[in-house]
Amino acid sequence: MNQSYKLKKGLDFQLEGQAAQTLDAVLFRTEVALQPEDFHGVVPRVVVKEGESVLAGTPLFVDKATQRVKFVSPMSGTVTQVERGERRKVLSIRVQPDSKQASKSFEVTGWEKFSAEEMKQLLLESGMFAFLRQRPYDVVACPEDTPKAIFVSAFSKMPLAADFSYVVEGQEEDFKNGLRALSKMAKLYLGISPDQVNTAILPVKEADVRIFDGPNPSGNVGVQINHIDPVNKGEVVWTMAPEEVIFIGRLLRTGKVDFTRRIALAGAEIQEPRYLEVMLGTKVGDIVNGQIKKADHKQRIIDGNPFVGHQTSEGRFLGAHSTELCVLPDGGDVNEAFGWILPRLKQFSTSRSYFSWLQPKKAYNLDCRIKGGERHMIMSAEYERVFPMDIYPSYLIKAIITGDIDRQEALGIYEVAPEDFAVAEFIDSSKLELQRIVREGLDTLRKENA
């Protein structure tokens, strides 16, 4: 029997435009690209030149620090542009796919017998290692570290998030093989939701499977780590998103990289919300082309889900870790009078000063307004209601704001990632940008500790 955890704190809430479980493929690709910003914590050293031909699996850039983590092209073709921004920061490395699609081959025969070091080498060379993230700091893992464990969460309860149970259908063997590969490098934990217990992603005897039952953010790997084996100062754990574990499985089966992923195209402004099979790094415009509802109000494209994703545009590229692309009304052109007193029946709130508690199952069509001014933290224990970890989030946030590093350490900053604060940021009546605050706190701390 797998150990299970019942979490009470958190918030489940529905947005309009949940993706229906049907699948289409996006084959039309003008360009694909890797955006180094998607791999937080890496200073990129570009190893290709504009005009150079690459195969799927050829490195486009490596990390400057160790030069061992390779970030590989998802498709074969010609490097069209190394896009740079302010202070020559690399924004994207773009590849125009060719028609024949050739892939670099990697030696995978007998991988079941690989040692930890051989497996790590394969993952580094094939670009798979780049998808491993580490805590503390929530950055790309460093191959020099020895993690105490690797954690994979097989579900997400974020609004509009892709349902991994559907994404993995037909690819269960690849997923399990990916887990087996990871388990060679460290002890592996797999967190699942109660409704995944009897699905084909199990059994995997190489992983220690734990069941997490509770509202969002119970699917966050950080929450699961906190309950299974919290990160102490000086320790490192690695995490990987389940969709990316499938990439490893495919590599082990074919010896070639295949970065096709099923994403959810969702949101109230999408004509037909559903799943799409897209290549990693596909241009956003190629995906949403003809999919967005015609409207005379502003719309916003979000790379990722509305809680942890970020605003993007048709000219940018699907994020390397993104499992959904959402389009919501922007709201910048909405005028709503006397919001402080009117009932506002269409709005969602966890506060019963609104009426959304009458319809707990209703899906809401929310726009991207902040709906209030930023204030000091006024309400007490507000974040604690939706933060299912043994941490005082409001005290930690204050320690980050005041830059008190000793106190941040004492209060558990090594255990958190910005995404763990997403639900708290959503319900925050003081409208503080919690994820930004945590991100900056982690980055500063990483510099200080370097």
Partner 1 sequence: MLKKLFDSLRPTFTEGKLSAFRSVFDGFETFALVPDTTSKCGVSVHDSIDSKRIMSMVVIALMPALLFGMYNIGYWNAQAAGATDASFLEMFSFGLAVMLPKIIVSYLVGLGIEFIVAQWKHEEIQEGYLVSGMLIPMIVPVGTPLWMLAVAVAFSVIFAKEIFGGTGMNIFNPALVARAFLFFAYPTKMSGDSVWVTKDSFFGLGHQLPDTFTMATPLGQAAAGQPISTDLTSMFTGLMPGSIGETSVIAIMIGAAILLWSGIASWRTMISVFVGGALTAMLFNSVGAADNAVAQLPWYEHLVLGGFCFGAVFMATDPVTSCRTEKGKYIYGFIIGALAIVIRVLNPGYPEGMMLAILFMNMFAPLIDYFFVNSNINRRLARANNK
Residue type, 45: R
Residue ranges in 8-47 that form contacts with partner 1 under rule CB under 8 A = 15
Q: CA quadruple 47, 48, 53, 57: dihedral positive or negative?
A: positive
| Binding status of residue 344 toward partner 1 by CB under 8 A | yes
| Binding status of residue 347 toward partner 1 by CB under 8 A | yes
Per CB under 8 A, the list member of 119, 181, 320, 328 interacting with partner 1 is 328
Residue ranges in 400-419 that form contacts with partner 1 under rule CB under 8 A = 410-412, 418
| Binding status of residue 237 toward partner 1 by CB under 8 A | no
> What's the CA gap between 322 and 308, in Å, rounded?
10
> What's the CA gap between 63 and 65, in Å, rounded?
6
Nearer to partner 1, 110 or 234 (CB): 234
Per CB under 8 A, the list member of 169, 172, 213, 384 interacting with partner 1 is 384
The secondary element (H helix, E strand) that includes residue 287 is helix 284-288
| Binding status of residue 354 toward partner 1 by CB under 8 A | yes
The secondary element (H helix, E strand) that includes residue 422 is helix 422-427
Nearer to partner 1, 15 or 400 (CB): 15
CA distances (Å), 60 to each of 178, 213, 230, 278, in order?
Answer: 23, 40, 35, 20
> What's the CA gap between 51 and 77, in Å, rounded?
9
Per CB under 8 A, the list member of 302, 318, 397, 417 interacting with partner 1 is 302
| Binding status of residue 436 toward partner 1 by CB under 8 A | yes
Per CB under 8 A, the list member of 17, 309, 393, 441 interacting with partner 1 is 309
Per CB under 8 A, the list member of 392, 401, 443, 444 interacting with partner 1 is 392
Helices (H), 115-220: 116-125, 164-167, 172-183
Contact at 8 Å (CB) between 10 and 259? Answer: no
| Binding status of residue 381 toward partner 1 by CB under 8 A | yes
**DSSP 8-state symbol, 231:** P
Residue ranges in 154-193 that form contacts with partner 1 under rule CB under 8 A = 159
Report, in Å, the least distance between residue 123 CB and partner 1.
27
> What's the CA gap between 26 and 283, in Å, rounded?
11
| Binding status of residue 330 toward partner 1 by CB under 8 A | yes
Beta-bridge mates of residue 207: 188
Tokens of 355: 């009426």
Tokens of 430: 């003081």
Report, in Å, the least distance between residue 41 CB and partner 1.
17
Site residue total, partner 1 (CB under 8 A): 76
Report, in Å, the least distance between residue 376 CB and partner 1.
3
